[in-house]
A and B are shown apart, each in its own frame.
Chain A
Amino acid sequence: MSALEIKNLKVSVEGKEILKGLNLTINQGEVHAIMGPNGTGKSTLAYTLMGHPGYTVTGGEIIFKGKNILDLEADERSRAGIFLAFQYPVSIPGVTVANFLRTAINSRRRAANPEDKGISIPDFRTMLKEKMALLKMDPAFAGRYLNDGFSGGEKKRAEILQMATLKPEIAILDETDSGLDIDALRIVSEGVNALNGPDLGVLVITHYQRLLNYIKPQFVHIMMNGIIVESGGPDLALRLEEMGYDWVREKYEEVA
């Protein structure tokens, strides 16, 4: 079982400490949710796990499959099996979804075997068609420039399409529900659920509870001021929905 273990993680951005000793373990087959008010460090955690160079780890470890991955670049982490669905996917003008995905797949194959010739075009097409059908995406989508002029829903669907194509072992969904209407939310969630299984660990980062009606976590964590302050089952999310974050703030104000 490949676990992602985050141990006493401390992270600074431009000299300011955002994560202040965060601990969390996610195993394959588990769905975790991190909830918390804005500005508490949720996205910092997501970017740090993926290896964004703008986030400086000042303490702690990130262990994946038994190895500390802090020294790995983002592409190496990805090939090791970590995936981040971005809150704000970046547009790459001039690069089609299909070209991009093929390059991503071939990068994996070449890393495993430098002699690899890459996936054949027919194999790639078949695979892509299948994954796009799963997410109810128009095949013409593959020919569009990546995230360029995409609606909010299209961007998030494209993220899940990438996840389906790259088959990670740990997927981090950063505010995947933001900017989605109910229909888009349902389609995206169904996509994630279809990928869910014993081989995938999921970390859902969200501000609102509503996504958790669709993607059901076994574990819910509340984050405040750069650490996890409360962990529990699905009922914890419901409690937040009912009572808001104020009770957490009151309880942990002194921690900050």
Chain B
Amino acid sequence: MTNLKLSPTIRQTGPKSFHFSESQILNNAENKVRKTAFDVLNKTTLPDTSVEAWRRTDLKSFPIDSFKIFTTLDEIALPQIPKEILEPMVDDKFGGQIITTPFSTTIALDEDIKNSGVIFTDIKTAETKYPDQLKKILGTLVNPEESIFAALSASLAQTGVFIYVPKNVKVEKPLHSIFWAGGNGLAFISNILVYLEENASLTFVHESASPKESEDQILSSNNIEINLSKGAQLRFVELQSWGKNVWNFSHERSRVEEGANLDWIIGSLGSRLTKNFSDIDLVGVGATGRMSGFYITDNNQHIDHDTQQNHFAGKTTSDLLFKGALLDHSRSVWQGMIYVAPDAQQSDGYQANRNLILSEHARADSIPGLEILADDVRCTHGATVGKLEAEPIFYLKSRGIPQAEAEKLVVEGFFDPIMQRIPFQGVRDRFKEAIINKMTK
């Protein structure tokens, strides 16, 4: 796996580390996992572009010393959460919903789901009420040494979601959570932790958001850890529609045991800068993982997805498709790696990244990678960066569709294979709307 080397040799102007204190660890500073991570945080500095994983995402202008953890003293009035974020699912009613802001958390969960033993709560409550279950997942997958942000989220998460589904429990109705943040200088530090016992199944939709046009500088730092025990099934849809001045860092790692299946959808619409690491570890025979990503960027947005499909066991299958469209001066990076361990025979790995450049000033970097140490495997990958072609546009125009509409139609079509993988009409509509809004400026 990736070992990130820190690079002290290059001199940078400006501060390179956070100034948080151990007393800010949630609940009590005695939490060992968090305390260890805090020690890592203390000795870690901001990565520069000499670190391979950060080569294409320059944090020079990231104002690291301007963020703080808000307390109730800092409480500000947040605008209402837009209706479309509250109800991303048109066809299905959800079985539970958590809404988290820097100042409050509300939790709703259907009685029958609660009675089946499912835990669906915030991190703070989980630490006091469900320490044994929490211990099984917190800090087990994301290594705080991976980056300063991994260490930050591992040590100082103030909020987040914890889901625990007991053996054989199939949660029929989706669970839904929302992060809704605001306030200039806010450090929004969170964890999302999901543990499914054997043969459990769940659909979970999460959205991180803040008012789109707000000038507030916000740091979001999030670690996501997901464990699927033998035979478990998880469909996880995560969407970020952060406001235009949000710096968004996320380390996400899932562990999939024998015969378990993860269907993972990652949608990036907002933020000023996003650096997202998402990894699937297929650790049991016959485990499968599918990752579907989409992004549409505009203005000066910078969205960087770093994905890893690790086949650690035989007969495992991974399938990744990321598609993006870029407008204005925006930039995207996708860097993916399929790793197949020496004894992970008869595994099947696939990865593809397709980009559509809609402006001469936009740029997409697409870097696939394979590292295969077994000999009886099938691994394929593809990466493309293309422009809108003239002939399809002319064809559509010849049917009376104006230029701008024709372009939108082609872009919508480009994303359709990803939309087909999203089980919620509401999420599909949100994304279509984002395409139209961003292309109609």
Contacts and interface: CB of A to CB of B under 8 A. Distances in A.
B424 interface: no
A162 interface: yes
A99 B395 CA distance: 15
Interface string A101-119: 0011001100100000000
A78 interface: yes
Contacts, number: 81
Contact of B397 (A73, A111, A145): A73
Contact of A53 (B394, B396, B413, B414): B394
Contact of A93 (B394, B395, B413): B413
Interface string A48-91: 00111110000000000000000001110111000110100111
B76 interface: no
B413 A145 contact: yes
Contact of B409 (A54, A73, A92, A111): A92
B58 to A, nearest CB: 34
Contact of B399 (A52, A53, A73, A104): A104
B244 to A, nearest CB: 28
A166 interface: yes
A78 B390 contact: no
B395 A107 contact: no
B431 interface: no
A93 B414 contact: yes
A90 B397 CA distance: 12
Interface residues of B, number: 23
Contacts of A77: 398
Contact of B414 (A50, A91, A94): A94
Given A53-B390, A53-B394, A166 B413 contact: no
Contacts of B391: 90
A166 B409 contact: no
Given A52-B394, A90-B395, A107 B401 contact: yes
Interface string A226-238: 0000000000000
A166 B400 CA distance: 9
Contacts of A74: 394, 397-398
B436 interface: no
Interface in B378-435: 390-392, 394-403, 405-406, 409-410, 412-417
Nearest to B406: A75
A53 B406 CA distance: 15
Contacts of B415: 94
B401 A90 contact: no
Contact of A103 (B392, B394, B401, B417): B401
A208 interface: no
Contacts of A103: 401, 405, 409
Contact of B401 (A53, A83, A94, A104): A104
Contact of A95 (B394, B398, B402, B412): B412
A178 to B, nearest CB: 17
A83 B410 CA distance: 21
25 contacts: A52-B394, A53-B390, A53-B394, A73-B397, A74-B398, A75-B398, A75-B399, A84-B398, A89-B395, A90-B392, A92-B392, A92-B395, A94-B413, A94-B414, A95-B416, A99-B409, A100-B396, A100-B409, A103-B409, A104-B399, A107-B400, A145-B416, A162-B399, A166-B399, A166-B400
- What 6 A-B pairs come out closest when comparing CB atoms? A94-B413, A94-B416, A78-B400, A95-B413, A90-B395, A74-B397
